[in-house]
Amino acid sequence: MLGSEDSTGAAPLAGITVLEVGAFMAAPFATMQLADLGATVLKIEVPGAGDPVRTTGPFLEGHSSPFARLNRNKRSVALDLKSEGGREALRRLAAEADVLVENLRPGAMRKLGLDHESLRATAPRLVYASASGWGQDGPLAHLPGLDIMAQARGGLMSITGTPDGEPTKIGVPMCDLVCALYVALAVTAALRERDRTGQGQYIDVSLLEAGVSFAVWEAGKYFATGEVGRPLGSAHQTSAPYQAVRTADGHVTLGAVTPKTWSGLCDVLGLRALHADERYADASRRHAHREALIAEIEDVTRGWTTADLVRALDEAGVPCAPIADYGQVFTDEHLEQRGYFWDAAHPVLGPVRQLGSPMRFSRTPAVRSAAGPLLGEGTAEALRAVGYSESEIRELAAHGAVGLADGDAARPDPSDTREREDPA
């Protein structure tokens, strides 16, 4: 195997080698999950340029801060896939790898002769996953597809925001990210299936279908009644009260949808009359009369500070939370005490603060290793592992087919005396 990890290592995917031919978000976020789980991820990048995220600020010492976080625990292998030398290097890497994840436009890998069908003859055990905007076939497949287009066409933007507001996308690139998570899940499932059959397979995941998969409540309404979902601000689609309500100094989110929590909310706010009102007898009827209900609730909550209301609701066992900005999230005491944030080593930047993996294992914890790699720093090592000699690596580098990190020239080849003359 290409990776140096022993298959008996602590991390769940130790011993699995993943090739990433990706850029921006979907493939890199998917392989970040696999790397966190212990897989050796070789990030295939264009020599001299790399993943375009390397040019995304803010920059520290000339290095992209987002890149150092999105590509943690990976190794960079710089190959020019437009050259035959670079393509052949990828073929040889794929023949020894377990997984390949790519998010180029559909057909791009086929034109390079690096699609699943082309690699399967020499890599029958390879699990090959493609992430794309619209999928590998269908009338939209040939079109470029970014996260915002998937949010738009997949319906998410039609229910996000306020009822009379401008079209609003979800604040994070949700379709990119959930597509990546589906890729990681599918890859782990395919590896498990390979344990039984010995065969790899092809995986096709699209941003569009990943986004549409979220429409659980909307599908429940439409397929039952024909009702089309609309923006509701922070309110729930079917239950109330489940939304943000105004306070004297901001907002508090609350979810009092069970009999117990609804009763608790009424007690805290001194609104026992609402508890006896037939209009509000259950979460569904409360939702049907939501505007009147929230108006009555906010008449009271506007007299509370956010901190006091959260404290009182917490004591009563009513689900609630203040709305935190990311400055508060990234310094949150709860997350700090749980050790969620961690520092990854970087050869230039030193410690780079990382978001933790949400996956917590009792015996095989997620990997906490290095920040995003320098471009090409793993090229020579990866090529040596699949049989390239030092002279072959130097020749490929000289022709631009591969890229090496600064100071990472191939080691001298004992059998090659062509460059061993004494300096003048």
The residues annotated as belonging to the active site are: 176
φ, ψ for residue 281 (rounded to 5)?
-70, -30
Residue 172, C-beta contacts closer than 8 angstroms, at least 6 positions apart: none
Are 365 and 350 in contact, with CB atoms under 8 Å apart? no
Crossing angle for the helix pair 84-96 and 390-398, nearest 10 degrees?
A: 140
- The whole-angstrom separation of Cα 222 and Cα 261 is 29
Strand 40-45 to strand 59-60: parallel, antiparallel, or no bridges (unpaired)?
Answer: unpaired
DSSP string for residues in 302-367? TTS-HHHHHHHHHHHT--EEE---HHHHTT-HHHHHTT--EEEEETTTEEEEEPPPS---SSSPPP
Question: Rounded to whole angstroms, how far apart are CA atoms 408 and 75?
Answer: 13
Question: What are the backbone angles phi and psi of residue 69, rounded to the nearest 5°?
Answer: -100, -40
Q: Residue 63 is inside which H or E element, if any?
A: strand 63-64
Q: Using an 8 Å Cβ cutoff, are 94 and 126 in contact?
A: yes
**Closest alpha carbon to 133 in 122, 124, 144:** 144
Select from 46, 38, 51, 26 the least CA-distant residue to 98: 38
Q: Which two tokens stand for residue 265?
A: 């909310």
Residues 6+ apart with CB under 8 A from 79: 44, 45, 47, 86, 87, 89, 90, 379, 401, 402, 403
Return the DSSP state at 423: P
Distance CA 98, CA 96 (A): 7
Q: How far from each other are the two terminal CA atoms of the chain, in whole angstroms?
A: 43
- Under a CB-based contact definition with an 8 Å cutoff, are residues 18 and 168 in contact? no
Report how far residue 314's alpha carbon sits from residue 320's, in angstroms, rounded to the nearest whole number: 7
